[in-house]
A and B are shown apart, each in its own frame.
Chain A
């Protein structure tokens, strides 16, 4: 077991043992560890009472969950339609170039940033937008993107 047993216990303690709580439990595991460790996934399945196959099906189906550790700061660049027509593709490319990260996969060794494309953050009136943590950065342009990368990169 490479995840902290105590931390996992603390999560499962207040999750009722019923299949409908599988997704909720996985959300909490994801929030705690920044990914879904395999052993935690098994423990969640056993706890809520679903077959492990179902747990894996769910964890791989939904975008909110990741089976590999995510970077501490993930920049989610909205490429939804409203942002798309306001130049989201350019913003995304600029951020990727800026962090020298490969789309959604890797990130730069010297930063703790990673970049991913998401569809619609519901902030369509202020596109292009990006989200870091729970914070929305609106009306992005070249300058704002530079500041964004600088504030969230390790130096």
Chain B
């Protein structure tokens, strides 16, 4: 249905509200983003669907996106009119069957019930919506509410405002939660310069890595001469350990579209591209459906909302190259060329895509824009710190109990992030370091974990904010090996255009390899530092310039580990294969022969039919035996 003006938008909102909260029907929602699917959400969804069909159930089975609790997937929500929203965790087929049975019997299912929520915190137009009326239900006393969940307690969802709470394929759902009203406001009540002014005042900084003020970028593009101007979205999320963009693309694509539309209006652009990496098939499909729906409703195309504003956009698919996350490489790739960056003598604001003025922002940045326009810059810049306003999404992963997507106000400390939000390091481990900023960032050790998470503090500590990867590491991680891992990645992904990056990283890799094999020297360390500085100074693009960061930061904070590899030929974390030996503690060995069964090289032999022994010359140190030994008899020295 076409939406021509405010009235049309209000009608769509009404439609959406009855779909989001059907007045008479219960609704089962299955989280069907990639995290859910990988954990079996599809089977659960199909199960509920087939049961509902077979029994002519008076209810709905729908899909939704990801609320960020990846450690609890698959997640299922139950929405019953007048009752709190119920969330079930780790729902496999067995649990789904029980939930269905209880529901069918007219009970409120309590199998796998994780938490309930009596208020839908709609951030935009409409405000919070009370879901529960009447007396406190008994389950409300026995199970925690959303507000009590440690994982969510410290979070504030702005970019993620709709994630897991609507069907990403349903435009009306988005509008019902206040979507596209910011666009309407911008188009009818604000001049383009006022929009830019608002974004500048909000202090919104680019969420993709650099942290450049978004409004200032928009202003230079607006002022640039030339037409058409392009508005671009960087969804080429190649940083290992980061999936914040995927979360938004799969769970709330319209928030990105609306942000881009507002940006296009402010800049004076009529065409746009969203550059998505091909490794995210579900994100690409979801985005494609969102674009089609918006086009069909008249929210993309000519004369949007009857204001005379034209804008349309397309998806441009990446080809699996990390370097395309760099702005000029991304533009080259959209043009159908190899993704090689160029020197930025001229800013992309003046000469970007096809040498026309272009404005590129990252997914999360765009998703923040509608909220700023709706609630105002003053509301936004009260959140976070003075220089880093608002919230930031992180993908909290690695050796931490509660992994998932989180969005917190800027300025919370690393310690709070790991312990309060993440629930600490799994038992047996101890927090050692946190890696932020992906391959352009660095590792921050425990000594610095009271550091606030904002752009300046992280850069000062030798890392960077980046696009929000946050990898927690414990004692089992060898920092030398990790540095090698990053340079391995960067060497592989270097586009090869400039010498410092192409050859410098290769040289660095050779040195790191020597360290992990116990063949390095102390002189190598100094040489590596000087090589790193040369790469930083001379590489053509920002990715090349920041490539040595993971190495420099690990040398800065974990020099003792490098020295252990060099001087003692020892890997303290027992990771580097050349420096460790496997053996079996004969006192602990029960002779169960699990290890000799799985040993791929036949290196494990039975000594006296009771205990086992590893033939070191045959051992390839694959660690498979340690994985199967129930007695814990395999020792690594």
The answer to whether A and B assemble together is yes
Spell out A's residues near B (CB within 8 Å): 19-24, 26-27, 48, 50, 54, 57-58, 61-65, 80-86, 90, 93-94, 97, 118-127, 129, 134, 136-138, 141-142
Question: Which one of A85, A97, A121, A134 contacts B600 once the chains associate, using CB atoms below 8 Å?
Answer: A97
The answer for the CA separation of A121 and B242 in the assembled complex, in Å, is: 9
Contact B319 A61 (CB under 8 A): yes
Tell me, in angstroms, the Cα distance from A20 to B395 when the chains sit together: 32
Encode B481-517 as 1/0 by CB contact (under 8 A) with A. Answer: 0100110010011010000000000000000000000
**A23 near B336: Cβ-Cβ < 8 Å:** yes
Nearest CB in chain A: distance from B487 CB, A:
12
* Nearest 6 CB-CB pairings of A with B: A62-B319, A80-B240, A125-B70, A63-B320, A22-B336, A61-B338
Additional A-B contact list (12), CB under 8 Å, known A63-B320, A125-B397 = A20-B335, A23-B316, A23-B333, A81-B486, A86-B399, A90-B622, A97-B622, A123-B243, A124-B403, A125-B70, A125-B395, A126-B35
Query: Which of B148-156, B169-177, B273-281 faces chain A?
Result: B273-281
- Which listed residue, A20, A63, A93, A138, touches B336 by the CB 8 Å rule? A20
Residues of chain B within 8 A of A65, CB atoms compared: 319
Residues of chain B contacted by A54 (CB below 8 angstroms): 336-337
Interface residues of B in 227-279 (CB under 8 A from A): 237-243, 246, 278-279
A22 to B332 CA separation, bound complex (whole angstroms):
12
B244 to chain A, nearest CB (A): 9
Q: Are the CB atoms of A58 and B628 closer together than 8 Å?
A: no
Residues of B near A81 (CB, < 8 A) are: 240-241, 435, 438-439, 469, 471, 482, 485-486, 489
Which residue of the partner chain, among B237, B278, B403, B624, contacts A90 with CB atoms under 8 Å? B624
**With an 8 A cutoff between CB atoms, is B204 at the interface?**
no
CB distance B241 to A82 under 8 Å?
yes
Contact of A122 among B34, B320, B623 (CB under 8 A): B34
Q: Which of B289-335 contact A (CB under 8 A)?
A: 316-322, 333-335
Interface status of B598 (Cβ within 8 A of chain A) = yes
A24, A85, A121: the one contacting B471 at CB < 8 Å is: A85
Please give the distance in Å from B505's CB to the nearest CB on chain A: 15
B598 contact set on A, CB distance < 8 A: 142
Closest chain-A Cβ to B240's Cβ sits at a distance in Å of: 3
Residues of B within 8 A of A119 (CB): 238, 240, 322, 489, 492-493
Q: How far is the CB of A65 from chain B (nearest CB, A)?
A: 7
Q: Tell me which residues across on chain A come within 8 A of B243, comparing CB atoms.
A: 122-125
User: Are B624 and A94 touching (Cβ within 8 A)?
Assistant: yes
A10 to chain B, nearest CB (A): 19
Q: Out of A50, A86, A97, A137, which one reaches B38, CB within 8 Å?
A: A137
Q: Is the CB–CB distance between B485 and A84 below 8 Å? A: yes
- In the complex, the answer to whether B320 meets A57 with C-beta atoms within 8 Å is no
Cβ contact within 8 Å between B627 and A141: yes
A85 touches B319 (CB 8 A): no
CA distance A12 to B336 in the complex (A): 16
Mask of B328-356 contacts with A, CB within 8 angstroms, 1/0: 00000111111100000000000000000
B37 within 8 A of A: yes
Complex: A22 Cα to B38 Cα, angstroms: 32
Q: Is the CB of B278 within 8 A of A64?
A: yes
Interface size on B, residues (CB 8 A): 63
Residue of B whose beta carbon sits closest to that of A133: B281
B71 at the A/B interface (Cβ < 8 Å)?
yes
Q: Which residues of B contact A (CB under 8 A)?
A: 34-35, 37-39, 70-71, 73, 237-243, 246, 278-282, 316-322, 333-339, 395, 397-399, 403-405, 435, 438-439, 469, 471, 473, 477, 482, 485-486, 489, 492-493, 495, 598, 600, 622-624, 627-628
Q: Which residues of chain A are within 8 angstroms of B320 by Cβ–Cβ distance?
A: 62-64
7 A-B contacts (beta carbon < 8 Å):
A21-B336, A50-B336, A62-B318, A82-B471, A118-B279, A120-B242, A123-B38
In chain A, what residue has the closest Cβ to B496? A61
| Alpha-carbon distance A119/B439, docked complex (angstroms) | 11
Q: Are A27 and B317 interface neighbours, CB within 8 A? A: yes
CA distance A123 to B243 in the complex (A): 7
Expressed in whole angstroms, the Cα–Cα distance for A95 and B502 within the complex equals 30
**By the criterion CB–CB under 8 Å, are B319 and A124 in contact?**
no
Q: CB-CB < 8 A to B395: which residues of A?
A: 124-125
Shortest distance between the CB of A135 and any CB in chain B (Å): 8
Closest partner residue, chain A, to B335 (CB atom): A20
A-chain residues with CB within 8 Å of residue B70 when the two chains form the complex: 125-126
Chain B residues contacting A125 (CB-CB under 8 Å) are: 35, 70-71, 243, 395, 397, 403-405
What is the CB-to-nearest-CB distance from B5 to chain A, in angstroms, rounded to a whole number? 32
Q: Is there contact, CB below 8 Å, between A134 and B397?
A: no
Measured between alpha carbons, how far is A118 from B493 in the docked complex, in Å? 11
B485 and A64 contact, CB distance less than 8 A: no
Asked if A58 and B316 make an inter-chain contact with CB atoms under 8 angstroms apart, the answer reads no
A141's closest neighbor in chain B, by CB?
A: B627
Contacts of A129 in B (CB 8 A): 38
Which of chain A's residues has its CB closest to B478's CB?
Answer: A85
Chain A contacts of B397 at CB under 8 A?
82, 124-125, 127
Q: Which residues of B contact A90 (CB under 8 A)?
A: 622-624, 627
| A124 CA to B73 CA, complexed, in Å | 13
A126 with B627, Cβ < 8 A, contacts A23-B336, A27-B317 known: no
Instruction: Name which residue of chain A comes closest to B37, CB basis.
Output: A136
Q: How far is the CA of A95 from the CA of B485 in the complex (A)?
A: 20
Residues of chain A lying within 8 A (CB to CB) of residue B398: 82, 85-86
Expressed in whole angstroms, the minimum distance between the Cβ of B435 and any Cβ of chain A is 7
Q: Which residue of A lies closest to B623 (CB)?
A: A90
Q: Taking A58-B337, A62-B321, A85-B398 as contacts, is the C-beta distance between A126 and B38 under 8 angstroms?
A: yes
B319–A63 touching, CB < 8 Å: yes
**Contacting residue for A64 out of B319, B322, B438, B623, CB 8 A:** B319
